[in-house]
Structure 1
Amino acid sequence: MAQRLHPQWDPIAARTAGVLYLSIAVCGGFSIGYVPLQIVVAGDPLASTTNLLANIGLYRLGILADCAVILFEIAITAILYHLFRQVGPKLATLAMLARAGMIGVMGINLMFWVMPYILEQNPTGFETAQLQAMVQFCFDAHAMGVFVWQLFFGMHLLALGCLILKSSIVPHLLGWGLTIGAFGYLIQGVVELTFTEIALLDGGIIGLLVVVTISEVSFGLWLLIRGGRSLSPQSAQTE
């Protein structure tokens, strides 16, 4: 299919965004998907505290990965706005603000993740059971915070997907994947934050999250491999 690069498309910025996208996927998968599973035990403060003390090195690596994600997110938010502002200024602004809101929540959420270590390493005067309960509370708050920033991220992906569909730069299949898959984050965030339990929604949410995950990784790869190509006007028309 013929595609035409937008006159304002910046190949270097696109390639940088691709690197950031994939870096966020790796660091975020580690800090959000892997580390909590090794430490936090739902409803068991003693087990969570024990796991924390037994896996301090892994815990610190998770914090480092979270810090990297936040810094990478700031950079990619600015780059995506730069790439797509000519396609749709209002949508690009919405995408930027939504992702910036997500970054703010992620920063607050990181504090909840750090607090258990502070509680364990500094004398507080609390009894052991109270201290463990506070550690578990911080872990639980961190888990709920993920669903809060998912709302912002879902809105960002919805706007970004629409921008891709409006453009003649990125394959529209990726735009549809991001637009449709964004509802996985939005619905899951609302369901979890309102403590709603509807079994029929679970399968749909999982399906949407699979779609959006594949689309995000594919978009990052496209930015890195294809979006970073500097094409002449003639080749852009025939590619």
Structure 2
Amino acid sequence: MIGVVIPAHNEGERIGAALEAVLRAAAHPALLGETVGVAVVLDSCSDSTSAVVAQYPVIGIALDARNVGIARARGADLFVGGGARWLAFTDADTLVSPDWLVKQLAENADVVCGSIGVEDWGAHGLEGSAVQAHFATHYVDADGHRHIHGANLGVSAEAYCRVGGFQPLACSEDVALVEALQAAGARIAWSAGPRVTTSARTDARARGGFGDTILAMVASLAKPADTELGALLRPAA
């Protein structure tokens, strides 16, 4: 079994499209009918997210933590307990490709760190084209990159359990997990093969996450003398 975990906090407008994309990936014929479970961890949701999730053949897990590390860990624990061999993680504002899971498994690694594409820069108005150009210049979207994104991450259940899973961090929980896996000698694929697109949202949910990085880029481009822009998209060590 493969388990897919999606943390969500007030994502009623986006979660439906995210789930449709994940369910298409779960039905890919190259998976040869292997069971794929999908869990949305509804973290302190007060909008329509839970109602939208209830319309899909997925598991909804409600909690009140406002902590993405706890949310991802709760979903992972569910699937580990159910015997999953592989855990895949994405976000509620992200669309995975139809072969997303197939590409992760094809890496034959303990961990697959995927890159991301951005769906639409229009939300940033006049600065959108400048941010897009800056992102394209500084972001490495190719095999061998060193980016870590919870929106495009896969790990074997065995390796995940070996390092104790996600820490209860409000941000950078994905980085902490991968660093722990590196320290434990896990085989890591830094791959551009599993494709996802995420939003360049202006209403970032996780402080210090990708949304905040985009907003920092916008602010820096408005005042180029104040900040070294390249540091905003520096790959993880």
More helix by percentage: 1
Bigger Rg, structure 1 or 2: 1
Q: Which TM-score applies when normalising by structure 1?
A: 0.28
More strand by percentage: 2
Q: Which TM-score applies when normalising by structure 2?
A: 0.28
